[in-house]
């Protein structure tokens, strides 16, 4: 298998002022060095533009039309675009299910489409990846024994064969518990490459197989303990000659329309009210940054005090919670780096 280590590069502009030219030339030299390094080991999340990745950005080009099945006691939800070029297995985190990745629709009335999960699927379908999602048997994926991995492997292999996708590259992405699961699944079955999100991978460094797939770590450096182990695993994988890279995901500020931009069914009026509430209660600082992780922020209690009603409240609670966690950037699934992730997958498909 041909291996590459390609992550997107960024360009720089140059002004005409002579003094500025000298200063900017120096900056460009430093930037070029940074770009070179990012191409080899890291792509920082500061490269995305929050004004662009809105919940409905694919509305005119991609639609959810998933198929829901149950096989070997597991919930399986999948969709195949026209002329697929690859197959993607997605593994949720703890307390997740396959329904989190898909919007509610006639073929999946129980789907809830969490903001980040649904956008990852839409990115995949837009890039012509067939997508299969499977629910874990328990609250989290079983990591200590191989039984669940063998069941998932059988489901994927049967589905691939049944839909005549055997000749396509196979890749996987898992977040948190799903990231650990994918890292172990890659020791049982062959992937062209994998992405491990907000997880450091579960393998003993001395036992990494020689044919372990190219691995991209997407993580949040604010979690210092996980960062240290990820760095150790990056080194261990490189020593084995395995192609690896990382994308670091940093915190970013909220703005009044942020939640409306990210969450289907939440309008701008409620988004602005929530933003003002967060500011009034001191949940965000003067620049809009979350002071605590969304899980540790009593925003639901504050919302009840104001009497503000959310449409489809139980579902939107989870949606809002996910976006607040994402903004704090400690531990949450993220679609903001999807372009880089799918560039990584595509660079390892030959």
The string of pLDDT tens digits covering residues 6-29 is 333 333 332 333 333 333 333 333
Asked if pLDDT for residue 40 goes beyond 90, the answer is no
What are the residue boundaries of the structural domains of the chain, listed by start?
A: 67-250+333-347, 258-328
Instruction: Give me the pLDDT at residue 283, please.
Output: 97
Q: What are the DSSP calls for 201-253, one per residue?
A: --S-GGG--TTPPPEEEEE-TTSHHHHHHHHHHHHHHHHTT--EEEEE-----
Residues near 52 by beta carbon (within 8 Å), at least 6 away in sequence:
none
Mean pLDDT computed over 137-143: 95
Give 35 or 81, the one with higher predicted confidence.
81
Q: Which residues of 6-22 are buried (b: 16+ CB within 10 A; e: fewer)?
A: ebeeeeeeeeeeeeeee
- 89 beta partners: 132, 172
* pLDDT one-digit tens code per residue, 225-258: 999 999 999 999 999 999 999 999 999 999 999 9
d(CA 331, CA 212): 25
* pLDDT one-digit tens code per residue, 312-336: 777 789 999 999 999 999 999 999 9
Homologous superfamily assigned to 67-250+333-347: Alpha/Beta hydrolase fold, catalytic domain (3.40.50.1820)
* Contact (CB, 8 A) for 251 and 222: yes
d(CA 35, CA 186): 30
Give 106 or 314, the one with higher predicted confidence.
106
* Contact (CB, 8 A) for 2 and 349: no
* pLDDT one-digit tens code per residue, 66-104: 999 999 999 999 999 999 999 999 999 999 999 999 999
Instruction: Give me the pLDDT at residue 44, please.
Output: 46
């Amino acid at each position: 298998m041909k291996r590459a280590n390609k992550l997107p590069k960024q360009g720089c502009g140059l002004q005409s002022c002579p003094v500025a030219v000298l200063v900017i030339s120096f900056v460009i030299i430093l930037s070029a060095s940074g770009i070179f390094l990012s191409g080899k080991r890291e792509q920082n999340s500061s490269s995305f533009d929050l004004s662009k990745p809105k919940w409905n950005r694919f509305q005119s080009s991609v639609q959810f039309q998933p198929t829901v099945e149950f096989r070997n006691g597991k919930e399986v939800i999948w969709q195949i675009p026209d002329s697929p070029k690859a197959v993607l297995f997605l593994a949720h985190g703890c307390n997740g299910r396959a329904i989190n990745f898909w919007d509610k629709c006639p073929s999946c009335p129980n789907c809830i489409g969490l903001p980040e999960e649904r956008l990852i699927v839409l990115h995949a379908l837009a890039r012509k990846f067939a997508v299969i999602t499977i629910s874990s048997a328990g609250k989290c994926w079983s990591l200590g024994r191989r039984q669940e991995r063998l069941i998932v492997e059988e489901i994927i292999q049967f589905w691939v064969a049944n839909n005549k996708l055997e000749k396509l590259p196979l890749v996987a992405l898992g977040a948190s518990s799903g990231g650990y699961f994918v890292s172990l699944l890659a020791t049982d079955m062959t992937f062209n490459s994998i992405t491990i999100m907000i997880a450091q991978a579960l393998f003993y460094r001395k036992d990494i197989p020689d044919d372990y797939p190219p691995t991209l770590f997407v993580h949040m450096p604010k979690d210092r303990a996980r960062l240290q182990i990820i760095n150790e695993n990056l080194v261990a994988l490189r020593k084995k000659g395995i192609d690896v890279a990382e994308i670091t995901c940093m915190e970013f500020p909220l703005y009044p329309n942020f939640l409306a931009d990210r969450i289907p069914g939440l309008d701008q009026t409620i988004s602005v009210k929530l933003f003002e509430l967060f500011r009034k209660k001191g949940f965000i600082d003067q620049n809009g940054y979350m002071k605590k992780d969304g899980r540790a922020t009593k925003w639901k209690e504050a919302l009840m005090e104001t009497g503000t009603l959310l449409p489809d409240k139980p579902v939107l609670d989870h949606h809002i919670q996910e976006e607040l966690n994402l903004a704090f950037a400690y531990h949450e699934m993220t679609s903001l780096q999807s372009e880089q992730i799918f560039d990584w997958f595509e660079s390892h498909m030959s």
